[in-house]
Amino acid sequence: MKLKILLIFMGWMTAGYVTPDLETVRQDYRKASENEEATKTLYDGLTAIGKNADPVLVAYKGAVTTMMAEFAPIFKDKKSFFKEGRELLEYAIETQPKNVEIRCIRLSVQENMPKITGYHKNKDEDKQFIIDNYSAMEDDGAKEFVKGYASESDSFTEAESQLF
């Protein structure tokens, strides 16, 4: 009886720590840019992601955390969300600096941040990195995400978007 209770308890404890499916996160990230509810849903779904997780998931968590700043009711919370998100995103970049998808995620954040945040200095660098390294990407889901972003982004010209 005690073993059964222990197994049920352990299953319940680990149920909240299931790693999200990366393909679903990619799709939800695109939706999150459209409205508050989608942003909060994705943020909640990435709660268990920490720095020891897949760096791509860490980057998505960082990006959606910065997006939460827009919906925070007080300045202190806005600042906290932004700072935490930026730190996670930069950590992911440090961990995998040659990952095109992570660079694309940072570009998407920096492209949409108000100038007052000062978080926009890597836009040109990331854009060029994406253009130069896109064709070498092996993950089809990541390639599709980057291609989709480039086609909608103001950072890429029409001619540059055709490279994808």
Average pLDDT score over residue span 16-21: 67
Supply the pTM of this predicted model. 0.86
The per-residue pLDDT for range 88-101, each reduced to its tens digit, is 999 999 999 999 99
Domain locations in the chain? 21-161
Q: 66, 92, 60, 63: which is closest to 80 by C-alpha?
A: 66
Distance of CA 43 to the CA centre of its chain: 10
What's residue 119's pLDDT? Answer: 92
CATH code at 21-161: 1.25.40
Are 81 and 72 contacting, i.e. CB atoms less than 8 angstroms apart? yes
Helix (H, G, I), strand (E, B) or coil at 52: coil
Q: How far is CA 85 from CA 37, 55, 61, 64, 90, in A?
A: 18, 13, 7, 7, 9
The per-residue pLDDT for range 38-67, each reduced to its tens digit, is 999 999 999 999 999 999 999 999 999 999
